[in-house]
A and B are shown apart, each in its own frame.
Chain A
Amino acid sequence: MTDNTFDKDSKSVGINHPGDLLNEDPLAWLPRMANKLYTMWLMWTYPFASFGKGTWAHYSSHVARSAAPHISIGKNVAIARDVRLDVRGTNGNGSPLFIVEEGCGLQRRGVYSARNRIHLMRNVICAHSVLVMDHSGEVGDDPGARKQETVGGSIRIEEECWIGFGTVIICEQGELVIGRHSVVGANSVVRRSIPPYSVVAGDPARIVKQYDFSKGKWVLGCVRPPAGATTAL
């Protein structure tokens, strides 16, 4: 859904070829330097649970310093413009609530709000304007009462997934797992687990395509039932 280039030199200006850097607008170097400085600032002064090498954060991305101890970021992660990493609350045993593993790309304007646990495994692509929340607002009986957040569940997005533009992933209870190498289409709403090797789309997200191992190709429709779907709904 977004640019496929996550290599270091192509950030934020969309360079196709390394040689193009020399032809780039001199003004484009200013934000580039700002990104570099901001990334170093994050790496050295924020108390992250971990912050891998080669990780790059846009200067307008937002992480609160108080949230940093609960966030673990792996190597070569790209955090683009206006991305917000939000941690609400803590968990007792001190393990991080928001884990981004090696090679993930968090594209522009994504909002990630963890109350229990959000785990992005290796090489996940989250496209623009994604919302990932492992809790939600409570719907009470009393319409006038101040709304609390629900306790929520946990979200795990497994290796190599591609989460499309504008997708909303919300887990209200239990564990929501998006299986390995799955694709979530643009503007989908995901509220329950998705089996591995699937393409889903729509609101609510339904399986459009799955990889059929017996035939060795992608086929339309549902081949395997959603395994490990523990969430209601």
Chain B
Amino acid sequence: MLRSVRVTSASLDDHEGFFSRVLTKLNSLWLAATYPFAGVGRSLSAHYASEISRTLAPHIRLGNHVEIGRHTWFHTWSIPTIEDKNALKIIVEDGSRIGPRCTISAANSIHLEREVVLGSDILVMDHAHAYEDINIPIKDQGATPGGRIRIGEGCRIGQGAAILCSNKGELVLGRNCIVAPGAVVARSFPPNSVLSGNPARIVQSPGVKQAGGDEKSGERSEVDLANIEVTLHDR
């Protein structure tokens, strides 16, 4: 039942070429040295093809040992009605890893706490397009005011998941939640839950006995962890 969990940070593992690693290192140094981040910690590793704009850097705070994957896009923007220049919008705390091709788009606040692992292809967005006026193209309607998103310590998010908070309020994913690949999370969930589906439901709360009477939670979580680790690999 248990799959082997590969160590993703092993330096001898040659899934990433030497040159690409050098470029990533240079890019990380360049970002840390020249971008006006609200804060940036030690050992940032931002892939050379990740996209963080310098003009948006004052809205972003990165902790120590943050990893950012290929083509991952940090985007913040101000909704004209709530103009707050230089407000902190994206906070990534120590040890968080963000996989390749993620989109983090913040209008208000997106907070990844410590040791959060985002797999690949994930969308985290705290606002959405407004579509209510049927006489104006959705494209031109701007965004909803949106809410705030906080992803708790140690959460793991699987490939292709979407975490969306389009309405007012705060979406909190408790600590150590596991979100299965492809899930759509649009509301808050308590700590230690395993979420899956569209819309996401709790498929398992650790410590709760299953119908069969077996304590399966630990086992299940390990498998999901393995899946998420694998998706991190093609950065």
Are both chains from one complex?
yes
Assuming A27-B30, A186-B123, A187-B162, is B53 touching A13 (CB within 8 A)? yes
The minimal Cβ–Cβ distance linking A23 to chain B, given in whole angstroms, is 5
Considering only residues 73-111 of chain B, those with a C-beta below 8 Å from chain A are 73, 75-78, 101, 103, 105
Q: Is A141 an interface residue (CB 8 A)?
A: no
A residues with a Cβ closer than 8 A to B are: 1-6, 12-16, 20, 23-25, 27-28, 81-82, 103, 105, 108-109, 122-123, 125, 128-129, 159-162, 165-166, 181, 183, 185-188, 197, 199, 201-203, 211, 218
Whether the Cβ atoms of A186 and B184 lie closer than 8 Å is yes
B53: chain A residues within 8 A (beta carbon): 13-15, 24-25, 28
Q: Is B160 an interface residue (CB 8 A)?
A: yes
Bound Cα distance from A15 to B78, whole angstroms = 10
B71 closest partner in A (C-beta): A81
B163 closest partner in A (C-beta): A186
A10 closest partner in B (C-beta): B77
Whether the Cβ atoms of A203 and B198 lie closer than 8 Å is yes
Bound Cα distance from A160 to B103, whole angstroms = 23
B129 closest partner in A (C-beta): A162
Stretch among B132-140, B170-178, B205-213, B221-229 lining the A interface: B132-140
Whether the Cβ atoms of B125 and A13 lie closer than 8 Å is no
| Top 10 closest pairs, chain A to chain B, by CB | A20-B55, A123-B137, A186-B162, A25-B54, A160-B137, A13-B53, A162-B138, A14-B75, A165-B123, A123-B139
Whether the Cβ atoms of A4 and B129 lie closer than 8 Å is yes
Q: Is B142 an interface residue (CB 8 A)?
A: yes
Bound Cα distance from A198 to B128, whole angstroms = 16
Question: Could you show 18 A-B contacts with beta carbons less than 8 Å apart?
Answer: A2-B103, A13-B53, A14-B51, A14-B75, A15-B53, A23-B55, A25-B35, A81-B71, A105-B139, A108-B73, A125-B138, A125-B139, A128-B103, A129-B121, A166-B162, A187-B160, A197-B134, A203-B198
Whether the Cβ atoms of A188 and B198 lie closer than 8 Å is yes
Bound Cα distance from A25 to B30, whole angstroms = 10
Of B56, B134, B140, B164, most A-chain CB atoms within 10 Å = B134
The minimal Cβ–Cβ distance linking B187 to chain A, given in whole angstroms, is 13
Whether the Cβ atoms of A181 and B138 lie closer than 8 Å is yes
The minimal Cβ–Cβ distance linking B28 to chain A, given in whole angstroms, is 13
Counted as pairs of residues, one from A and one from B, with CB atoms less than 8 Å apart, the total is 120
Q: Is B202 an interface residue (CB 8 A)?
A: no
Give the size range of B's interface with the partner.
35 or more
Whether the Cβ atoms of A16 and B77 lie closer than 8 Å is yes
A16: chain B residues within 8 A (beta carbon): 55-56, 77-78
Bound Cα distance from A187 to B184, whole angstroms = 7
Whether the Cβ atoms of B129 and A1 lie closer than 8 Å is yes
The minimal Cβ–Cβ distance linking A212 to chain B, given in whole angstroms, is 11
Whether the Cβ atoms of B143 and A4 lie closer than 8 Å is yes
B30: chain A residues within 8 A (beta carbon): 27
11 more contacts with CB within 8 A, not counting A160-B137, A162-B138, are A3-B105, A4-B77, A4-B139, A5-B77, A6-B139, A13-B51, A14-B51, A162-B129, A162-B139, A187-B183, A203-B198
Contact mask for chain B residues 178-196; partner A; CB cutoff 8 A; 1 contact, 0 none: 0000111000000000000
Q: Is B37 an interface residue (CB 8 A)?
A: no
Whether the Cβ atoms of B55 and A15 lie closer than 8 Å is yes
Q: Is B11 an interface residue (CB 8 A)?
A: no
Q: Is B169 an interface residue (CB 8 A)?
A: no
A3: chain B residues within 8 A (beta carbon): 75, 77, 105
